[in-house]
Amino acid sequence: MAAKGDKSNDKPAAPRFVARNRRALHEFEILQTMDCGLVLMGSEVKSIRAGKITIDEAFARVEDGEVWLLNADIAEYPQASYLNHERKRPRKLLLKRREIQKFAEAAKQQGLTLIPLSVQFVRGMVKATIAVAKGRKLHDKREHLKKKTASREMRDAVRRRR
């Protein structure tokens, strides 16, 4: 029998998604993903907890052996007064050196970019899922939508037959 304070039987907390970049799945072909931490100020964390973040236009860039999240918009926290943060300032992503080198090689290839797919809370810490992605052409987007629609129709037909 477990003691009252023992948490060995508790399941690990599932990540709580705060923001998702749904447009990225349509406009890019995702090749590889990785979770990483973010270096944030206190007022930024409070705003993210309130869901005041958009990553639709955000991207990541490797500079001087570090990965930076650019163009992510975190709204100012009203109670922070003069200790507030800039909305679209560059934010450092926390990755191991080996992971940065692997991402840097992929990002240098022609047509590949680093984009954030989601921002979530994992055990109280803010994590971002970034992806190495290749931009889709207009005809690729149409083809992808056709395949998606066809598979959805087949799945629905199978469900109706049961």
Q: How confident is the model at residue 8 (pLDDT cuts 50, 70, 90)?
A: low
Q: Could you tell me if 118 and 36 are in contact, meaning their C-beta atoms sit under 8 angstroms apart?
A: no
Beta-bridge partners for 130: 34, 116
In a domain, 160, yes or no: no
Query: Does a structural domain hold residue 66?
Result: yes
Interatomic CA distance for residues 144 and 141, integer angstroms? 5
Q: Which two tokens stand for residue 26?
A: 């349509």
Residue with more model confidence, 117 or 136: 117
Q: Which of 81-85, 122-126, 132-136 has the highest mean pLDDT?
A: 122-126
Paired tokens of 148: 């998606």
Q: How far apart are CA 47 and CA 50, in angstroms?
A: 5
More confident residue, 117 or 141: 117
Q: Can you give the CATH number for the domain in which 66 is found? A: 2.40.280.10
Q: What are phi and psi of 139, to 5 degrees?
A: -70, -30
Domain count, the chain: 1
| Portion of the chain with pLDDT greater than 90, in percent | 12
Range of the domain at 72: 16-135
> Taking 50 as the threshold, does the pLDDT of residue 51 lie above it?
yes
Q: Which residues pair with 125 in a beta bridge?
A: 122
CB atoms within 10 A of CB 74: 26
Whether residue 41 is contained in a domain is answered as yes
First to last CA, the chain: 45
In angstroms, rounded to a whole number, what is the distance separating the alpha carbons of residues 46 and 42? Answer: 6
Rounded Cα distance between 80 and 89, Å, is: 17
Question: Model's pTM, two decimal places?
Answer: 0.73
Note the pLDDT of residue 128: 92
Judge whether 108 lies within some domain. yes
For residue 1, the model assigns a pLDDT of: 47
Instruction: Tell me, yes or no, whether 38 lies in a domain.
Output: yes
